[in-house]
Structure 1
Amino acid sequence: MSQTSASAPRSHRTRNLVLIVIALVVIALIVFHLVHRKPPARTPQAQVVTVAAVASGSMPVVLKELGTVTPVATVTVLPQLSGYLTEVGYHEGQDVTKGQFLAQIDPRQYQISKQQAQAQLAKDKASLAQAQSDLARYTDLAQRKSIAEQTYEDQKFTVQQDQAAVQSDEANIAQFDLDLIYCRITAPVSGRVGLRLVDPGNYVTASSSTGIVVITQMKPTTVQFTVPQNSLSDVLQRFGSGAKLAVSAYTADGDKLIANGTLYAISNQMATSTGTVTLRATFANDDEALFPNEFVNIRLTVNTLTNAVLVPTSAVQTGAPGDYVYLVNSNETVSVHKITIGPSDGKNTVVTAGLTAGQQVVTDGVDRLSDGAKIRPASAHGAAGASGAASGAAPGAAPDAASGTAPASAASGA
């Protein structure tokens, strides 16, 4: 009985030990499996991007510069003689025509001077008539040797002196006639008068620098602007060939077109301090939208490239490789593709080397891409993918690329 009681505790301890060993083995197997199992293979996730097709079309070569509206004529009307201003015949800001009455200077002193000159002329004409009569008599006597030869010669000189006096009197009268014309001040050019500079009752002089009024020709008008020396050769080549280069004037913020004109003059010297040359364009300005001395943004269309390779400007990136795009491959991956760019109108950019029409490039989502990355177009609107670009981050860029049509000219507000 005692032996049976002693073996029971030993059998219980044996079972517990076996269970502990089994548990340890199971835990060891679990830990081994967790440590040595292979992680599941991850497939790269495709990046959602917007793509557009490379197109072929026309691209205007446009220079954008700051210009100043410069009137064809700005005239300060100065008095030609001295006197009291008795009348002003214009309203401030009025449009006047050439020869229109502007102001009147008191003419009375010049009328009196003219009358004196006329009286002197009558006196000198009488003296001349008497001298000519005496000369005729002396001529007859000299032929008969009845008077001294010296008397005859002196009389001829007297006649010449009287003739000169008459001519001097006539010149004086002509001068006073001109002074009377100058008393009535008229507009030398057609244009718009400014604010009145002198009021009636003031004494004006010929040396007055302020003048009576300033007249500015409003139409036609011109705009002066400068171009850098690097762009001058193209302008000179086109201008020298007789081409009429289109010039457009925009508001200061560049959003609204004011007027269209043409380039008509290029300065003969370059400013050494800025490396620029001044150009001048003419505008009809029939609506007088261009105001003198106003600052405007000028867009000069130098040339138009035809059959150019065009991509949306948003697709062009700049980095370590230089200028590049993310080119869409046939296996729905992208590759970094280096390009050479040309002119741009802000919406599209010319690619002179590196791309051909029909290829596809990424226009939106490039910040998440790298060479060889997997992509998925944002929306499927045809093989060109241009419609996707139009609805993505590059609005307006893809439709031109998809259709292959020419983009809007930068000179007309592109």
Structure 2
Amino acid sequence: MQIKRNTALMVGVLLILAVAAWAVTRPAKPRLAAPTAIPVRVVSVAQQDVPRFISGIGSVLSLHSVVIRPQIDGILTQLLVKEGQSVKAGDLLATIDDRSIRASLDQARAQLGESQAQLQVALVNLKRYKALSIDDGVSKQTYDQQQALVNQLKATAQGNQAAIDAAQVQLSYTQIRSPVSGRVGIRNVDEGNFLRMSDTQGLFTVTQLDPIAVEFSLPQQMLPTLQGLIAAPTRATVDAYLGADTDNQTGDLLGEGHLSLIDNQISSTTGTLRAKAEFSNPAHKLWPGQLVTIKVQTALDKNALVVPPTVVQRGLDSHFVYRVSADKVEVVPVQVAYQNSDINIIKGVQAGDVLVSDGQSRLKAGAQVEVLKEPPQVIHTANAQVQP
């Protein structure tokens, strides 16, 4: 009996110890944490005029580039210009030995004088024969022969005059003049060289630098846009940059010109259309053969609502932004009219609305936010490229 009591007492003690151990080791009930504000950065919607551009890679071309070649064979006697010198149209560049041509010219003039003297005698005789033929002083045959002699001497005189003209043309070829205004290139010959008309290399080139052109290619889908720009009363502006990226205007501006020409056909192999722009180039920043990035302004969006690209979020079916109202955010669906790496033009918000630009990954509609204090973000749109 005593044993049963001891056993029951021991079981009770063990139960008490087990309950105490469970009470000590059981997990505490979780406490509901107070909601914390999500830190975000914000930007205000700006309203301003934004130009739209199309971009492409172009090659600088001279409007006139001439290889100076001799038009007669002869010895180069003088070079009157230096390499790199600027010349005007009509300036004397070089001279070729003209002694042989001058001798031929003098000979042709002497032959003309001889023919004219013979013609004068023949005309006097013809007049005399005409008077005598009235009274049958000379035969009709003699008169006709004299008339034929006069005609023959007239033709000879005309041939001599033509020989004089040809010699004068040849003499003019001994003075090589610049056909265009431009810059002299590297010289290929020196004074004393014998020049031939068959020489393909030429003496040097004269290349016009101002004004100058840039030829570039664009996708064929841009044809209606370019046609509209050409037909517009105001010429479309074209900017040329050195080393510029089509998305970032980091290159140096080399010149501002205007769209001047669209090619008359589209390349069937590349599906691109060639166009040309003309630039005023007084400082010679644009150089023939240079590769540049061109930007053609196609339109101007007035009073556009502009935000940085990080503001706009993409949902399953549409775009949206987080708008801050008091200390909470709301989801606002928007339409993206244009976009690039610098700006987005959107619809669906108002100018001055405060939108979240950083920290959207933790947000949802109605979330409480804390706006980080920092200098206001500046939206650069002066040269922003917006694809049409």
User: How high is the TM-score relative to the length of structure 1?
Assistant: 0.83
Match of 2:17 in 1: 23
**Residues 30-85 of structure 1: per-residue CA shift (max 9 Å, x gap):** 45xx26x6432345543322111223221101112111111111011121111111
Given that 2:230 and 2:261 are in contact with CA atoms closer than 8 Å, whether structure 1 keeps it comes out as no
Q: CA deviation at 1:260?
A: 1.4
Residues 123-176 of structure 1: CA distance to partner in whole angstroms, max 9, x if unpaired? Answer: 211221121122111111111112221221121111111011111111111111
C-alpha change, 1:15 and 1:345, in structure 2 (3 Å) is closer
Q: Which letter maps to 2:357?
A: T
Deviation at residue 13 of structure 1 after TM alignment: 8.8
How do 1:15-414 residues align onto structure 2 when only pairs under 5 Å count?
A: 19-30=13-24, 34=26, 38-42=29-33, 45-253=36-244, 254-318=250-314, 320-321=316-317, 323-328=319-324, 332-335=328-331, 337-344=332-339, 346-351=341-346, 353-366=347-360, 368-372=361-365, 374-379=367-372, 387-388=375-376, 390=377, 396-397=378-379, 407-410=381-384
Alpha-carbon shift at residue 334 of structure 1 (Å): 4.8
Q: Deviations over 1:97-119 (max 9, x none)?
A: 12222111111110111122122
Alignment-mate amino acid for residue 342 of structure 2: K
What is the one-letter code of the residue matched to 2:48? G
Shift of 1:221: 1.2
Q: CA deviation at 1:370?
A: 5.0
- Matches of 1:329 and 1:199, distance apart in 2: 81
User: Is the Cα–Cα contact under 8 Å of residues 52 and 360 in structure 1 kept in the other structure?
Assistant: yes
Q: 1:191 to 1:58 in 2, by over 3 A?
A: same
Change (3 A) 1:96 1:40: same
Number of equivalenced pairs:
379
The answer to whether the 8 A contact 1:51-1:377 is kept is no
Read off the aligned partner of 2:301 and give its amino acid letter: L
For 1:345 and 1:155, the matched residues in 2 are separated by 93
Task: Provide the secondary structure at the position in 2 that maps to 1:339.
Answer: strand
Contact 1:85 1:204 in 2 (8 A): yes
Cα deviation code 1:190-245 (max 9, x no counterpart): 11010012222222222322222100011111212222232332332233121221
Alpha carbons of structure 1 residues 330 and 103: separation in structure 2 relative to 1, 3 Å? same
Contact 1:340 1:354 in 2 (8 A): yes
CA distance in 1, matches of 2:194, 2:366: 86
Change (3 A) 1:206 1:378: same
Give the percent of matched residue pairs that are identical in Structure 1 and Structure 2: 30
The aligned counterpart of 2:247 is none
Q: Partners in 1 of 2:338 and 2:288 — Cα distance?
A: 32
Structure-2 separation of matches of 1:237 and 1:136:
75
Stretches of structure 2 that go unaligned for 5 or more consecutive residues are: 245-249
Distance 2:19 2:196 in 1: 123
**How big is the shift at 1:185?**
0.7
Alpha-carbon spacing, 1:169–1:39, altered in 2? closer, same or farther (3 Å): same
Structure 1, unaligned runs of 5 or more: 1-6, 382-386, 391-395, 401-406
Name the structure with the higher helix share. 1
CA distance in 2, matches of 1:22, 1:316: 64
User: Which residue identity is paired with 1:314?
Assistant: T
> For residues 19 and 64 of structure 1, do their structure 2 counterparts lie closer, same or farther at Cα, with a shift above 3 Å needed?
same
- Provide the TM-score with structure 2 as the length reference: 0.88
Question: Which letter does structure 2 place at the counterpart of 1:369?
Answer: R
* Contact 1:334 1:375 (C-alpha < 8 Å) held by counterparts: no
CA contact (8 A) 1:299 1:410 kept: no
Contact 2:327 2:370 in 1 (8 A): no
